[in-house]
Amino acid sequence: MKVFIKTFGCRSNIFDSEIMKNRLNKLASTEEEADVIIVNSCTVTNFADRDIRQYINKWQNKNIIFTGCGAYTQGKKLYNEGKVKAVLGHKFKEKIDKFLDFEGINLGDFDFKNKETIKEIHKSKAFIKIQEGCDFECAYCIIPKVRGHSRSIEEKTIIDEIKYLSERGVKEFVLTGINMGSYGKDTGTTLAKLVKKLSEIRGVKRIRLGSLEPSQVDEELIELTQNGVLEKHLHIALQHTSDEMLRIMKRRNRVKTTLPLFEKLSEMGIALGTDFIVGHPGESEKIWKEALENFKKYPLTHIHIFRYSPREGTLSATMKQDVRGDIAKKRAKILDTIVKKNNYNFRLKKMPLLIHIEDEKNGFLYGYDEYYNKMKLPKIFNKGEWVKIENYDVKDELNVGR
């Protein structure tokens, strides 16, 4: 029985799909040659639900097993409509090989921790999930309802996994989780202590972190950005820069504490990214102007901007949707322009950069430096190689090595 796994959504889903692949004997390279399609779904927005439903409709001639976050929000409906033959909760991903013939719905519970690790990978970079679930209750977010409470994967499991992969040539590790900064809260340790131990593993050349909450960035973690292994780039989720808007969103961060943090990190030479939601209910012109003035003070070099869309089952979806789409789009453009200029100025500082070459396209090589900025290189190196580049030109979107 050949199985194809289709992955939607976040890095945690990418990791989960790799775990499922490790459990299966016969993997199909395309949907056409598969007997079973496993859909590892995302449900963070209504648009994500729509895209997944369109995908499932396209492959109705196949047996479909539906898992991931969408299993909790639209699994029952898809099963009752006869669109999928099985709906499985996150708990069963680690033993997916036992459920290929299963028909029905089994969501299980959230009282589990991942124990399986990646055994085989064909890249020089690996995503490693260290944590599952979230204890925050942001008004716009469905994730706590579909991932459960925050729980940390055992430290030994993570260390053993990275040792195993590093011995097989993997040198860069991207740590990920649903609320990754809460790692260790339930096991008496911290993210910084884990990163320190991982940095000392032989063969590990770079560790990159996924998104963090401002309150989760402690002094020990900041110090580790100077150790040459932890990337000098932190992605710290703000979501907004108006305190009034943050209260509406039920966020815990406030400008008076996050701005000094970002300024301190910037002075240490750390590149800074964030998430920002525009167009959330209640984002009046007054609030937007306050947010924009505050935003300009943050030394941001990278940003993920999301135009708000209601997610059924969240508090925000019950609020009056009072920001027009065209206004949200304009606001997003303003923020994007500011950060692109910041990023360009950051790169103009010109310093020797360590590039991990990850891709090859149209006769050129592409990789990322320790500040998570992209570089284009001539094809005199090899994919997967690590190179120190001193001579390069700074262009609008990336750096170009000579």
pLDDT in tens, 78-121: 999 999 999 999 999 999 999 999 999 999 999 888 888 777 77
Residue whose C-alpha is closest to residue 20's, from 117, 93, 118: 93
pLDDT at 25: 86
- DSSP annotation string for 90-122: GGGGGGGGG-TT--EEE---S------------
> Quick one: pLDDT at residue 122?
64
Query: How many whole angstroms separate alpha carbon 180 and alpha carbon 211?
Result: 7
Q: What is the pLDDT of residues 146-201, one digit of tens each?
A: 999 999 999 999 999 999 999 999 999 999 999 999 999 999 999 999 999 999 99
Looking at residue 164, its amino acid is Y
CA R_g for the chain: 22
């800074």: which residue's tokens?
272
Q: How far is CA 6 from the centre of its chain?
A: 17
Q: Which residues of 344-370 are buried (b: 16+ CB within 10 A; e: fewer)?
A: eebbeeeeebbbbbbeeeeeebbbbbb
Bridge partners, residue 59, by sequence: none
In this prediction, residue 200 carries a pLDDT of 97
How many CB atoms sit inside 10 A of residue 130's CB? Answer: 27
Cα 122 → chain centroid: 20
* DSSP string across 309-321: ---TTSSGGGS--
Phi and psi at 118, nearest 5°, equal -70, 125
Q: Which residues pair with 306 in a beta bridge?
A: 277
The stretches in the chain having pLDDT less than 50 are none
Identify the CA nearest to 262 among candidates 240, 243, 236, 288.
Answer: 236
With beta carbons less than 8 A apart as the criterion, state whether 79 and 105 touch: yes
pLDDT at 158: 96
The reported pTM is 0.91
Question: Amino acid identity of 347?
Answer: R
* Alpha carbon distance 176, 15 (integer Å): 9
The one-character DSSP state at 125 is E
Please tell me the predicted confidence (pLDDT) of residue 353.
Answer: 98
* Cβ-contact 378, 355 below 8 angstroms: no
| CA–CA distance, 80 with 264 (Å, rounded to integer) | 54
Pairing of strands 392-394, 399-401: antiparallel
Would you state the pLDDT for residue 266?
98
List helix spans (H) across 111-154.
Answer: 143-147
CA atoms 159, 160, 165, 169: torsion sign:
positive
